Structure 1
């Protein structure tokens, strides 16, 4: 019962049972006016009470049993005549048991009733004041003694329960600590992977910027240097002009390298149609490729920074590829827009074979378009040449705004 071992549980019933049996034998061995059969019967009822009461869960039923025993004992006391030792012993025994079994406040009330009943019985049977005071003192002393024992026992059990709960909580905290350590390790691993991904992404961006900007400029340098021997033979003035152009382009390459190394962000020169016209003018002047720009379908020239840079870099890479691979004499760029999108079409009259090899340049163009939320497609032009179609949203996404702030 209540988490106790069976041996301890039976011990708590055997000890009071032995006390009852020994006292019953003692009272039966001395001559008394009480009927021995009645005395044995009352003690037998108390003995049964000791073995039954632990299984009674209801406080109300327990109280009724205690009251019934009290009335039975008072009846036995009343019929015992002048021999009151056995009845007084049973009253005290009942009071002690009540101090252990009944709730503290209820046991106090029941003890007060027992003492009051004793006073009435003693008074009715002519008991002296000293006898009454002595009985009351003994009962009060025993009640205080056994009540304090009960309180200490309950305090010890409460401490044991608290200790068990603390031990359980300690186990739970250890488990939670292990889970937190595991989560911390996973978070650390995720942060390392995220950092590696960010570094890889930044390296890719820098490589793409170098390819798109410096690669374009160096292509122009190569083309002009290849034509320099022929120009030197024909015209000294033209050769000097070519050399000046090569020096100018080389300086621009140096500036681009510094810009990439120091990560100065987007260049303000890549904004709007002015930058595109300047790019086309440079290409025509340095390569001999004729490039036309049609903006008749353009209703406005104010674009978000990410759109401006994306168009500039894709047009730059497209013209670089035309100069390197297409063997074309003419290229055309058409820019238009509606309320939500900007459209760019780039065509050339070069020798397109019908199949494309996606190298770093074409892959970078597609990645730039997709990063800006748009799309980029390639198709053949009849009778020859390549068409590049770019579509970009004019609304800057939340992610792009955060990228721009960084």
Structure 2
């Protein structure tokens, strides 16, 4: 009864109730062997059954009620002695109601039991074979008729339910289609932003490479050119040597520019301690800054390419900053490692006392360290000077592998 309007709900109980009341009046108005009080009682029980059974949810309880009514009707039949009267009408009424109320297979079994019980009662009361066959035929015909009506009703309800589900699915598909369109638009927007970010990241990388490499070389050129007038006065041979160094550095700057412009990738010379020693030797020759390298705590010299380049570029930028800003005479680099990390400490005896301004160089150093999965910190050295501490993981992360492949 779920899903039905209240008017239709009561209609399905009022119609059979009226049928029972009218037939009860008809049977009471004609003389019969049955006790009128018993007849009225049986019809009253059926009437109560009509109004109670729709609220019974359990199939087992419903079947028990049907069986109880059947036994009550058979008892009434046996007591009244009527062959074609009220008892037979109630049996047929119960069978029709079972065809609508009970599950199809259960209603068929119940109808077969009713027919069998009728045959036994008719036979015990001396009913003829024609009467028995006629009763069985009527009951079978009525059962087939009302069962087919029930099947058509259930098929119609199933079609309506399927149609409602299809309509609901259609609405959901339309909603999903709109969501996919929205997601597609957002994905296109994200792709454009990602492309812009990639271009910006590449520009930043090129700018950082130019600053770290060419800036370092040009700083060396400036320092040597500044000292050239004094060297010319003291020694012609030293001045020629300075000029040759400046030309060599200029050529290296040109080569570095070509390397960055053509994106030739990482330089294989920036690998391991050999590259670091070469860098320190160049700095000492071109600037006069004394740089010491301590690798006593280093147990392995084979590093991943991204670690080698990161150390090289950070040491290069650190020495460039010392030459430009620190007014230092000595710098020291200490490299050590454990099973998972590589540590680099760079100190100088310059003028730094604690006030640090982050420019492009220091910011680029920090970004390089973080991109490699490490960290970079700055602190003051007593009584003056700057300490740079770098920590890098020796295992290449998944993000770094993707960056290298890209």
TM-score for the superposition, normalised by structure 1: 0.77
> 2:109 — aligned with what?
109
8 Å Cα contact 1:331-1:348 kept in structure 2: yes
Q: Which residue of 2 aligns with 1:129?
A: 129
Q: Conserved in 1, the CA contact under 8 Å of 2:353 and 2:381?
A: no
Q: Is the contact made by 2:92 and 2:139 (CA closer than 8 Å) also made in structure 1?
A: yes
Q: Is the 8 A contact 2:374 2:391 kept in 1?
A: yes
Q: d(CA) in 1 for partners of 2:44 and 2:228?
A: 132
> Does the Cα contact within 8 Å between 1:332 and 1:346 map onto a contact in 2?
yes
Contact 1:32 1:83 in 2 (8 A): no
Q: Cα deviation per residue 1:2-54 (whole Å; 9 max; x = unaligned)? A: 33333222222222233233334444555556565655554444444433443
- In 1, distance between residues paired with 2:121 and 2:380? 124
SS at match of 1:144: helix
What is the CA-CA distance between 1:208 and the residue it aligns to?
A: 1.8
Q: Secondary structure at the match of 1:82?
A: coil
Structure 2 CA distance for aligned equivalents of residues 215 and 399 of structure 1: 29
CA drift of 1:284 comes to 3.9
Could you give the per-residue CA deviations for residues 270-308 of structure 1, whole angstroms, max 9, x where no partner exists?
Answer: 123332333233334444545555556656544443343
Change (3 A) 1:17 1:82: closer
User: CA, structure 1 residues 300+74, in 2 after alignment: closer, same or farther (shift >3 Å)?
Assistant: closer
Cα distance in 1 between the residues matched to 2:340 and 2:81: 114
Query: Structure 1 residues 113 and 305 mapped into 2: Cα distance closer, same or farther (>3 Å)?
Result: closer
Q: Per the alignment, do residues 196 and 124 of structure 1 end up closer, same or farther by CA in structure 2, a change over 3 Å counting?
A: same
Deviations 1:358-394 (A, max 9, x none): 3222333344345445555556667766555555555
SS at match of 2:358: coil
1:284-342: CA deviations, max 9, x gaps?
44445455555566565444433432332233223323333344555555556666665
C-alpha distance 128-283 of structure 1, shift in aligned 2 (>3 A): closer
| Inter-CA distance 239–163: structure 2 relative to 1 (3 Å threshold) | same
**How far did residue 215 of structure 1 move?**
0.6
Are 1:34 and 1:83, in contact at CA under 8 Å, matched by a contact in 2?
no
1:343, distance to aligned residue in structure 2 (A): 5.3
* Superposed CA RMSD: 4.2
Work out the number of aligned pairs and report it.
Answer: 406
Distance 1:298 1:234 in 2: 43
Tell me, which stretches of 5 or more residues in structure 2 are unaligned?
none
Q: TM-score, normalised by structure 2?
A: 0.77
Kept in 1, the 8 Å contact 2:284–2:290? The answer is yes
CA apart distance, 1:223: 3.4
